[in-house]
Structure 1
Amino acid sequence: MAKIHRQQPGTRRFTPLILAVALQGVPLAGAGLALLPLPALAAAEGRDYRIPAGPLNAVLARFAATAGVQLVFDPAPLAGRSSPGLQGRYTLDQGFEHLLRGSGYRWSERGTGIYALEGGSAEAALAMPETVIQASAAGGGADVGYRRPVSTSTTRLGLSERQTPQAITTLTRDQVEDFHLQSIKEALRAAPSVTVEQTETDRTQFTSRGFDINSFQYDGMGMPFVSTTLVGDQDLAEYEQVDVLHGANGLMSGTGNPSAAVNFVRKRPTAEFQARLGASVGSWDNRRVDADVSGPLTETGNVRGRFIYAHDKGNSWLDRYGHEKNIAAGLVAFDLSDADTLTLGFSQHNSDANGSSWGNLPLADANGAPLHYGRRSSSIGQDWTYWNLDTQRVFGEFTHDFGNGWQGTLTATGVTERQNADMYYIFGVSGDDATAFGDHSASKAHQLIGEARLSGPFELFGRDHELTLGASYGRTHQKLREKILAEDGYYPTTLSGSLAGVPEPSLQYTDDIGHTQDFTDRQKSLFAGARFNLIDDLHWIVGARMLSADASGLSYGDAYYTRAHGEVTPYTGLVYDLSPQWSLYASWTKIFSPQYSFGLDGRLLDPLEGKSLEAGIKGGLFDDRLSLTAAVFKTEQRNVAATSVLVGSRYLYDTTDYRSHGLELQASGEALPGLDLLAGYTYVRINDADGERARKFVPSHSLRGLATYRLPGLPQAKVGARLRWQSGIENDNNSRIHQNAYALVDVLGSYDFDEHWSTQLNVNNLTDRKYLLSLYNNATSGNYGAPRNATLSVSYNF
């Protein structure tokens, strides 16, 4: 978010706005950046630019950012002017000439890599006090292609991607819009090393490096009590980017887990007006409209606001299944002083689904023989089944600049989530006969999380270093009530009848407390982290988090209480700079994570423990426009929730120990002029305590890639493709339940009619491949993925 810094007395005063921008492409949308004195490109050197239309202020700022120069000008006289953007290859002089043509302004060089606008009122503004508007990496500005800085909230220490001793993937807003990745699960399907395990119509798990992801954050605020299961089809409308921090994450997220931490970075109010309207129609009568409006709310810009809305409704390739989503979010940022900023936000997500299924198509009969279905639309979801989710989030963030690089942040987040569902499940298929279970559930959860953080530089032994200190608190209270049929809820049915549709059973509340939950979880932690610059090229990152957690209450008839006090999760890593473009790194962390699944005895499982190691190399090519990462990792875990059994309406878990190792390769950014990509390959091998391969439902090999190319002779046109390939998977307990290796191909084409209007066509699963969505946790049920489908969209940018 924007911060205003006044120049100290006694120094030369420049224009009201200095936009200093770097080759790394820090995002801009009219908000300026801190002065980064990098040398300019040679005036005669050409570069490919893909700058969209927008306000002239913002277009000039982005042009300077891409060129790597400092641009000095007064934005006031340019207010209200628009620009068609810049598409194609230009030298620095040619780019300025194209953008300023007809504006009455010209440019001049004021020093190495420093340029100023002249004409109009720009020269007169040279006598005005300097104001440098500094935006954070997550400040809500315009995207910069497929390469965007990692949010400072993701690493906690404010480290860049290259200075973080772990692999990181950033999904940008450009990628989300290019490939129509409107939901969380669709976006994470594009992330290398992440496997999206859509086990049912409305429940999804995520794994990375072979294990469950249980750390989901919003602007770095962890949600430690949220299940590893994502319920509903949660939308990405209010988020600017998604950062995936691969590997163990105890320092960053509160508990160590060797999979990954996912950080959803909110859109923020911008210093200049911007707005976008979009609409789309697609296969199975899917329709979507969305709006995103942002800008100053006062003449001085010290109060800024942003409003986001989306409505998404449609049916599915699955019989009887349909959905409707409504998302609204509002944010307001107040500059209380030169040093203080307060941001408040609220969001409402409604996700309603009809024809939902609990469990999926049985993939094996009672004897373990595989079952096959000719129609990908086959579903056990019924006309009367549904799963509705209502989520409200409110947050407040206060930041104070103490000076000398030190900043304090206070953040609080509150979440209320309500669920209602009528579900139908079948199992034990023998011939056409089967057993059904009917269930109605209603739940409500309240969560409150707060965090205080202080960070800044310090000097030790003649060198500058960085330090972060903080404390956090979280509390969740959840209540659930179920009603089932008389007795145990089971009744006879048939497979064919379930596929065709069965009448709704009569469900009655029982007095049995075995069908209720009422529990409270709490976590408190202190954390500290530092980056020591041991020598010019060697950096040591070290930190620890001390965690205390307890959980108590009633779960399905069993009273429970569990407590962990003063558990310390240490973290350490080294980064060695081979050159300005390449770095070697290594990291180690302890794994400690309280578990909220229940064991076969009906009680909460003991915490998961272990250790994780990672080493790799990171670098950049083509003036750092293309980022590369190669990493190897090794993990040991104890007491992992593994095999499960369904008892009544809940799953109970046995535990085991695992060892895993693997390799990750990733590339992101501009590979060639006009060619943007994100691609990654992952290999993972998981063994159990006996040294045998385990968790075979996780693919050993996977490849993710997406790319777009702007046509050189027709810069208004863009084409793109997306590839998802994975090796075969199978059930650990029944190898006859398996999915062979498969690849999915998506394509797109878009065209910008002018600086405002654009249209786009996306075609998914171009080859119409038939495949199972998941065999997660050795499931004996599953659904088929979507056949070939298409979406046509149009957008208008103000």
Structure 2
Amino acid sequence: MLPSCFTYRPAAAATLMLFSTMPVLAQTDNNEPSDEIEHIEVVGGYTVAERIDTATGLGLTLLETPQSVSVITAERIQDQALDTVIEVVQNTTGVSFRALDNVRNTLQARGFDIQSYQIDGVPLPWSLAADSGETIADVILYDRVEFVRGSTGLLTGVGDPSGSINLVRKHASSRDFSGTISVAAGSWNNLEATTDVSTGLNEAGTVRGRVVAKYEEGDSYLDIFSNRSSVLYGVIEGDITDNTLLRAGLSYQHNVPEGNFWGGLTALYSDGSPVDWDVSTSTSASWTRWETENSNFFANIAHTFDNGWELQANYNKLKYRKPNVRLLYVYGALDKDTGSGLIAWPYRSAGESDLDSLDIQLKGDYQLLGNLHEFVVGALYSKQDALVQVYDVISSDPLPIDNIFT
């Protein structure tokens, strides 16, 4: 039954059906029908023209790539005000996440955890997942984020059925001075300042530079939670010859979430009934923090031979630090009437890891048996050292909370 505000008109409906099924023919100058078909080209606002290496290393277009691919461009990141990796994931088709708390998350695609990550197409044993909390890393220094759903075993070792994430850095491609500066303010005392400037460093523009910086701080709807983050990125590119490009740069990120969760809220009372927590409730303490520092020095050189073949070499040095992690875990059986039954467990640790990796690739195409074939061969070497110090709690006795509601 149609709503009263609509009136069904059979004559009008029949006319509409008649016009919708009539063929549309292009008209010539003499008003006679023509067999020519009118072409309409639709161009998306958040597309990329570049060929991607994420899936196979062959530099394929999105259409040629055998897996499903989603690309989140810098323009879309800016338009939607996406700050972190997890916010990009939330806006990507076919990729999901599972929040362990308000700092740590695991990422999934096709029902499996994503374990494969790349930076500029180079595989790195660098985890964005639960233990490091790097899903809150800022994406301001990346030109785009590529998601390949499905195995990328040609580049990332044993094929993982979930997918791979490739973080593509911003390059210094502008020969002229250009850039943006923005300042933003929001609810919960959130403040943000960002700048992105690039320019040629010599008259010919064969040497170019780019600097990206961002500072953000603010509170949250969650009690006592706040976060400060700083990002600095610089890159220099030089055209050594017409066919050789040298690029080197450094990035630094520093995140200081304070009053952050470790784990979640108790969902049920001891009698099995659900707990109706306020949205702002937190079981954290003012002294908790999950401070992280991440620095990355990189250099790469690309040379194109006269026959069109390309040789690339990439070096990455990553240093990751957790200088002072202090957390509080709350668990137990909560009594509905007294608010007792929960236990607090404090945790403190410090650690760091160093990674050195070198990747070399040679790619090109050749004719064989009347067909054009594409070829890529490469090698990757990486070494990672890690050290974590975990402090023991002075007393092994449980620390009961008398009344969680007060």
TM-score (norm 1): 0.44
Distance in 1 between residues matched to 2:84 and 2:128, nearest whole Å: 18
CA distance in 1, matches of 2:270, 2:140: 43
| Deviation for aligned residue 1:378 | 0.7
Q: Deviations over 1:677-707 (max 9, x none)?
A: xxxxxxxxxxxxxxxxxxxxxxxxxxxxxxx
Q: 2:375 aligns with which of 437, 443, 467?
A: 467
Alignment of 1:39-188 (within 5 A): 145-149=45-49, 151-155=51-55, 156-188=57-89
The equivalent residue for 1:395 is 298
Pairing 1:736-775 to 2, within 5 Å after superposition: none
Give distance in 1, aligned partners of 2:40 and 2:105.
47
Letter of the 1:469 partner, please give it. Answer: V
**1:413 aligned to which of 316, 334, 345:** 316
Partner of 1:341: 245
**Any idea what SS the aligned residue of 1:284 has?**
coil
Aligned to 1:317: 221
- Aligned residue in 2 for 1:636: none
Deviations 1:381-405 (A, max 9, x none): 2111111000000100011111211
Q: How many matched pairs? A: 361
**1:785 corresponds to:** none
Amino acid at match of 1:184: V
User: Offset at 1:279?
Assistant: 1.4
**1:202 and 2:108 correspond:** no
Cross-structure match for 1:381: 284
Residue in structure 2 matching 1:214, options 93, 96, 115: 115
Structure 2 runs not aligned, ≥5 long: 1-37
Deviation at 1:223, TM superposition (A): 2.1
Distance of 1:258 and 1:412 partners within structure 2: 28
Corresponding residue for 2:26?
none
Whole-Å separation in 1 of the counterparts to 2:152 and 2:266: 36
3-state secondary structure, aligned to 1:403: coil
Is the 1:334–1:343 contact (alpha carbons within 8 Å) kept by the matching residues of 2? Answer: yes
Residue 466 of structure 1 deviates from its aligned partner by: 0.7
Superposed, which structure 2 residues align to 1:715-734 within 5 Å?
none
Q: Who is 2:32 aligned against?
A: none
Aligned to 1:481: 389
| SS of residue paired to 2:247 | strand
**TM-superposed deviation, 1:151:** 4.8
- Hey, what's the Cα distance between the residues in 1 that align with 2:300 and 2:397? 47
In the alignment, what sits opposite 1:429?
Answer: 333
Q: Which runs of 5+ in 1 are unaligned?
A: 1-43, 49-65, 67-143, 501-798
Answer whether contact 1:246 1:259 (CA < 8 A) is retained.
yes
Secondary structure, aligned partner of 2:291: strand
Residues 356 and 385, structure 1, Cα contact 8 Å, conserved in 2: yes
Q: Judging changes above 3 Å, is the alpha-carbon distance between structure 1 residues 387 and 495 closer, same or farther for their aligned structure 2 residues?
A: farther
Report what 2:363 is aligned to: 455
Per the alignment, in what secondary structure is the counterpart of residue 364 of structure 1? coil
What is the one-letter code of the residue matched to 2:244? D
The one-letter amino acid paired with 2:112 is F
**Distance between the aligned counterparts of 1:223 and 1:371, measured in 2?**
43
Q: Equivalent residue for 1:305?
A: 209
**Structure 1 residue 282: Cα displacement:** 1.1
**C-alpha deviation, 1:415, in angstroms:** 0.6
Match of residue 326 from structure 1: 230
Equivalent pair of 1:438/1:490 in contact (CA under 8 Å): no
What is the Cα-based RMSD across aligned positions, in Å?
2.1
Alpha-carbon distance between aligned partners in 1 of 2:317 and 2:51, rounded to the nearest angstrom = 22
For the residues of structure 2 that align with 1:271 and 1:226, how far apart are their CA atoms? 32
- 1:427: Cα distance to partner? 1.0
Matched residue SS, 2:383: strand
Identity %: 27
How far residue 329 of structure 1 moved from its aligned partner, in angstroms, is 0.3
TM-score by length of 2: 0.84
Change (3 A) 1:488 1:244: same
Q: Partners in 1 of 2:368 and 2:88 — Cα distance? A: 43
2:155 is the counterpart of 1:252: yes
Contact 1:438-1:484 within 8 A present in 2 as well: no
1:554-633 equivalences under 5 Å are none
For the 8 Å contact 2:197–2:210, the answer to whether it is kept is yes
| Aligned partners of 2:239 and 2:246 also within 8 Å | yes
CA distance in 1 between counterparts of 2:239 and 2:214 reads 28
| Distance (Å, rounded) in 2 between the aligned partners of 1:493 and 1:312 | 34
- Cα separation, 2, equivalents of 1:404 and 1:303: 25
Q: Distance in 1 between matches of 2:171 and 2:315?
A: 16
Question: In 2, are the aligned partners of 1:189 and 1:195 still within 8 Å (CA)?
Answer: yes
Q: Which residue of 1 aligns with 2:11?
A: none
**TM-aligned CA deviation for residue 166 of structure 1:** 0.7
Corresponding residue for residue 231 of structure 1: 133
Measured in 2, the distance between the counterparts of 1:487 and 1:448 equals: 40
Distance change >3 Å, CA 208–CA 377, structure 1 → 2: same
- Alignment-mate amino acid for residue 327 of structure 2: M
Q: Kindly provide the CA deviation profile for residues 584-626 of structure 1, in whole angstroms up to 9, marking residues without a partner as x.
A: xxxxxxxxxxxxxxxxxxxxxxxxxxxxxxxxxxxxxxxxxxx
- Closer, same or farther: CA 248–494 of 1 in aligned 2, 3 Å: farther
Q: Residue 152 of structure 1 aligns to a residue in which SS?
A: coil
| Distance in 1 separating the partners of 2:263 and 2:67 | 36
Paired with 1:447 and 1:303, the residues of 2 have a C-alpha distance of 29
Do the aligned partners of 2:207 and 2:237 also contact (CA within 8 Å) in 1? yes
Contact 1:351–1:389 (Cα < 8 Å) also in 2: yes
Residue 145 of structure 2: aligned partner: 242
2:255 is the counterpart of 1:351 = yes
Deviation at 1:371? 3.5
Maintained 8 Å contact 2:333/2:341: yes
Change beyond 3 A, Cα 1:443–1:489:
farther
Deviations 1:25-74 (A, max 9, x none): xxxxxxxxxxxxxxxxxxx99989xxxxxxxxxxxxxxxxx7xxxxxxxx
The code of the aligned residue for 2:288 comes to T
Q: CA-to-partner distance for each residue in 1:66-108, whole Å, 9 max, x for gaps? A: 7xxxxxxxxxxxxxxxxxxxxxxxxxxxxxxxxxxxxxxxxxx
Normalized per residue, which structure has more strand? 1
